[in-house]
Amino acid sequence: MKSHYRDKITAVVTVYNKPQHIVERCIKSITDLNLKYIIVEDMSTEYDTEYLKHYDNVIFNTKNEGCYEAFEIGFRQVKTEYVLKMDADDYIIGYPDVSSNHDAYVNNIDNSISLIPKDFAHRPYAGLNGIVAKTSALLDAWTTELKFFNDIIIFTKLINRYDCVLNDTNYYVYDKEFSGIISLPFDEKMEYVIIAKKLALKEVQEVREAQERQR
């Protein structure tokens, strides 16, 4: 990796109720690649996070904001052209060549990701973790409209409005053992998913109509 990429990408990591060794594994994967980072500790209740004071660029929230708001707090302070979104229980083994200047680089998880907005909005199967996106593009697409599953809306906005590509190699490692599970009844989860999909499809339709008016 070329060292000047360090000045182009900042990893933003949200921490909530993850074991210390898991969080430190995540941070080490970032520093080993010489990337800049911002850590947002979101008022963990199950683990002591005093050890994070030994790291640079750590934000300690004074109340629990939730995953989307916590990440937004961090990425609004990003000064680099690109931002890498991470969860503390995951880690990276590399990052894409951003010299090609695409707006976002997406990990093609299990070779199942579609960057066709309508297809994705109908059948969403990707979160935002591991995405490397231009900070300005992600800020434009960002929403905290829903308490859960905003990923569906944000991802659709990104691939609908911007030049996004699938990585040839997946650089982001998901650790399913420590991944958080939304503690909602199945029916309630599905209600959020249905609302998110409707908003995503509305986004696709609005952009398509705007394009047709310009023809």
Residue identified by tokens 């080490």 is: 28
At 102, list the tokens.
């695409």
97 contacts: CB under 8 Å, gap ≥ 6: none
- Residues of the chain predicted below pLDDT 70: 1-5, 110-111, 125-126, 176-184
What's this model's pTM, rounded to 2 decimal places? 0.90
| pLDDT > 90 in the chain, percent | 57
**Of 189, 197, 127, 122, which Cα lies nearest the Cα of 155?**
127
139 contacts: CB under 8 Å, gap ≥ 6: 75, 76
The whole-chain average pLDDT of the chain stands at 88
Cβ atoms < 10 Å from Cβ of 201: 17
**35 burial level (CB within 10 Å; 0-12, 13-18, 19+):** buried
- What is the reported pLDDT for 110? 67
Class of domain 3-214: alpha beta
Residue 77 DSSP class? T
- What is the reported pLDDT for 73? 95
At 129, list the tokens.
């973790």
Number of H helices, E strands in the chain: 6, 9
Alpha helices (H) along the chain = 20-32, 67-75, 117-122, 135-141, 150-161, 186-214
